[in-house]
Amino acid sequence: MVEFDDTFRRQLRELFVWRRDVRRFRGDPLPDGAIDRLIETACLSPSVGLSQPWRFVIVDDAARRRAVIDDFKACNTDALSCYAGERAARYAALKLSGLEQAPGHLAVFADKASDIGHGLGRATMPETTEYSVVAAITAMWLAARADGIGLGWVSILNPARIHAVLDVPDTWKFIAYLCIGYPEAECDQPELEQAKWEHRRSADEFTLRR
């Protein structure tokens, strides 16, 4: 039986507070096998029916990385055009990916066709496949931070384009593109909060009692 003491609980709380979405990476590379170890930890996550629908693609190929960066730039330009006035100026000033600097690129997909888990839990809620993959990404995000490694989630991308660039099976649904590396700085406040784009609100605002 494993027990966790107060010191551990305090540190775990600190891990949640200090986990960040990282867009600014130092240039130094990750140790050999670091991404594989994060994937192993992510694979301990809960999944609907134990379906383990997560599929990981470590992207090392320079041409594929370049294609992803180009897609991000195109999508980010489109996104900017949806804002006007002061909000547009604020959006334009945000740094919304570390794709160019991050030593590690990792794409994450959900396999919608896998029969692992024999369909348990998915009949009325097929989207639980994607939820399971997001649960794994969250675990990886925290595990990375515990190792001093930063992770940045990029969703300003065209899923069909990423699918084609990475040449993965049609049944895989694109969930996330992750930049991984050592952060330039540590902070206990989201970067979007520092940039005054949005602020973190209290849990009361999101909690109903019935």
Ligand X SMILES: Cc1cc2c(cc1C)N(C[C@H](O)[C@H](O)[C@H](O)COP(=O)(O)O)c1[nH]c(=O)[nH]c(=O)c1N2
* 144 near ligand X, rule: CB under 6 A: no
Task: Build a one-symbol-per-residue string for 47-86: x at contacts with ligand X by CB under 6 A, - elsewhere.
Answer: ----------------------------------------
Considering only 48-56, 81-89, 111-119, 148-156, which stretch makes contact with ligand X by CB under 6 A?
A: 148-156
156 binds ligand X, rule: CB under 6 A: yes
Residues 97, 128, 129, 132: which binds ligand X (CB under 6 A)? 97
**Using CA of residue 144, residue 175, residue 103, residue 59, what is the dihedral sign?**
positive
Residue closer to ligand X (CB basis): 21 or 184: 21
Structure tokens at 23: 């867009």
Q: State which residue, 81 or 155, has the beta carbon closest to ligand X.
A: 155
Q: How far is the CB of 79 from ligand X (least distance, A)?
A: 9
Distance from C-alpha of 73 to C-alpha of 96, rounded to nearest angstrom? 10
| Residue 85 C-beta: closest distance to ligand X, Å | 21
Q: Write the CA distances from 58 to 94, 126, 130, 131, 177, integer angstroms.
A: 26, 26, 19, 21, 10
- Contact between 25 and ligand X (CB under 6 A)? no
Which residue is listed with tokens 């919608």? 112
- H or E stretch at 40: helix 34-42
Least distance to ligand X, CB of residue 137, Å: 8
The answer for residues whose C-beta is within 8 angstroms of residue 7's C-beta and 6 or more apart is none
What is the per-residue DSSP string for 117-175? TTTTTTSS-TTHHHHHHHHHHHHHHHHHHHTT-EEEEE--S-HHHHHHHHT--TTEEEE
Tell me if 155 contacts ligand X by CB under 6 A: yes
- Considering only residues 166 to 195 of the shown chain, the ones binding ligand X according to CB under 6 A are 190, 192
Would you tell me which residues interact with ligand X (CB under 6 A)?
A: 20-21, 23, 96-97, 153-156, 190, 192
